[in-house]
Amino acid sequence: MNLRQQLGSGLSMAMVLASAFAFWKLFSIVTMSNSPIVVVLSGSMEPAFQRGDVLFLWNREEYVGVGDVVVYKLQEKDIPIVHRVVREHRLLLTKGDNNERDDLPLYAYGQQYLERDKDILGRVFGYVPLVGYVTILITENVYFKYALMALLGLSALVQDE
């Protein structure tokens, strides 16, 4: 492969990455959510949502009520949590459908409720079942990650010839 073809391939890859980033940012602006798409990582919301489901969030409504499924992120935790609102009185209390107790032990020390503007990333408005399982496999299984990288490298080598 000559230099011109390599530069063309690199430019094509850069365009794909830039397009994906632009789509993500546009979707973030439209939904008013920093994280408009999330993957369910646990079984706490079964049977409503299964592990590996991809959720789409909407954060343009001022009111979030009892029964709405929301995604929230706590300051000291990196992973967003998907749970249903079980109590609302200006502030929100959440609980996983498959959990016995509410989320009070998950909140920060002294925090009793979630604030709509501060903690909530958005309300779930749609989902695609099990598509996010690839993300779970990549993050939880080191061997799968290495096998996927080897497969990508192998396909690049085969494509060059």
Coil, strand or helix: which one is 90? Answer: coil
Q: What is the pLDDT of residues 26-66, one digit of tens each?
A: 999 999 998 999 999 999 999 999 999 999 999 998 889 99
Q: What percent of the chain has pLDDT over 90?
A: 63
Question: Do 20 and 42 lie in a common domain?
Answer: no
Say whether the peptide bond before residue 47 is cis (omega within 30 degrees of 0).
yes
Answer whether residue 148 is part of any domain.
Answer: no
Question: Do 24 and 40 lie in a common domain?
Answer: no
Question: Do 49 and 123 lie in a common domain?
Answer: yes
Answer whether residue 79 is part of any domain.
Answer: yes
Contacts by 2-5, CB closer than 8 A, 24 or more apart = none
Position 157 scores a pLDDT of 74
Question: Do 95 and 112 lie in a common domain?
Answer: yes
Question: Do 75 and 124 lie in a common domain?
Answer: yes
Position 90 scores a pLDDT of 84
Q: Which of 33, 53, 83, 119 is catalytic?
A: 83
Domain count, the chain: 2
> What's the CA gap between 4 and 21, in Å, rounded?
26
Task: Note if 83 is an active site residue.
Answer: yes
Q: Which of 103, 117, 155, 160 is catalytic?
A: 103
Question: Do 56 and 98 lie in a common domain?
Answer: yes
